[in-house]
Amino acid sequence: MSGDEGEMLKARLPGPVRERLQSLRVKDGRATAVLDASGLAAGQREALEAAAREALGGEAAISEVRVAMTAERDGSNPAAEGASPPRIIAVGSGKGGVGKSTVSTNLAVALIKAGYKVGLVDADIYGPSQSRLLGTEGKRPVARDKRLIPVESEWDVPVLSMAHLAEPGQAIAWRGPMASNALVQMLEGDWTGVDVLVVDLPPGTGDIQLTMLQRFKPDGAVIVSTPQDLALLDATRAMGLFDKAGVPVIGLVENMAGYVCPHCGETSDPFGIGGAQSAADERDCRFLGRIPLDITIRRDSDAGIPPAAGQGPQAQAFAAIAAGVTEWLEKP
């Protein structure tokens, strides 16, 4: 696009977008706009981004629109004033499908209800889910002094996830170093005011876990498993990784433990029961509690409503787990 064409395009943008526009580049049908979001509230930032996307997307020569937003610091520098960095709690599992992300979300919400200021990092780069679980889909973080500002959720949990950085539905086909760099960006975000940072790790013991242990050694780890022997075997491997790295295992959570029939009230245990508690006892590790296999948890989670934010038995299960973590956090 020539200079004259670029100026004509800028002139057609809405006033609020034009006033905040720092740069605009159009190449091969792709428009990349950088906007200054300094001083804007979350809703105003979203409205500004939407206006830019709508205006640029309406141009015949543009088939794809990318919007980046930056902001200047407000002058305060808590780090310089001696603010302590947040304590990091990693939530891990040896395998996928055990409900680790659901536990991470609801642990964060339950800790907030217990009086902590809690942030959440979705470190599952290839399969991020925290944007859905916290109802923040479609939101984008802004950058300030090259640091990402976490997205605010309705549940008072600031969060960063690859789902906030990638286009919806986009496959993240990255090699290990790129995924590790994404994790570093999120963990080095502006977590000012956060006491505890919960990190939802991907399953297994690969690059992301190693990067985390090497560069951002967690203060402690929570391990999630189902009662199945296979899941417990993998959970034990995850505990071994943290042990080797010198990271204390706070405790073990047994998820999908018991199903109460909504019609007859009878409890069944399709995945078994008590396996996680036995595994915790064998390793002299705290058993933090059980979470039932409950359709309410699935339904609310899919709707972006953390069950821990409520008052029912599901919330009580997560509160009990958070109580064990709180006790560990408050040890001298």
Q: Give the single-character DSSP code of 14.
A: -
3-state SS class at 319 = helix
Q: Is residue 99 annotated as involved in ligand binding?
A: yes
Amino acid at residue number 77:
N
Token pair of 216 as six digits: 């951002």
Q: Is residue 95 annotated as involved in ligand binding?
A: yes
* Distance spanning both ends of the chain, measured CA to CA: 63
Token pair of 61 as six digits: 């020569």
Q: Is residue 97 annotated as involved in ligand binding?
A: yes
> In Å, how far are 90, 176, 241, 246, 285 from 124, measured between CA atoms?
12, 12, 17, 22, 25
Calpha distance 16→71 (Å, rounded): 16
Q: Give the single-character DSSP code of 151.
A: B
Q: Is residue 204 annotated as involved in ligand binding?
A: no
- Which value, in Å, is the radius of gyration of the alpha carbons in the chain? 22
Task: Count CB neighbours of 191 within 10 A.
Answer: 25
Q: Is residue 38 annotated as involved in ligand binding?
A: no
Q: Is residue 98 annotated as involved in ligand binding?
A: yes
Q: Is residue 146 annotated as involved in ligand binding?
A: no
Tell me if 114 sits within 8 A of 168, measured CB to CB.
no
User: Residues marked as binding?
Assistant: 94-101
User: Residues marked as binding for ATP?
Assistant: 94-101
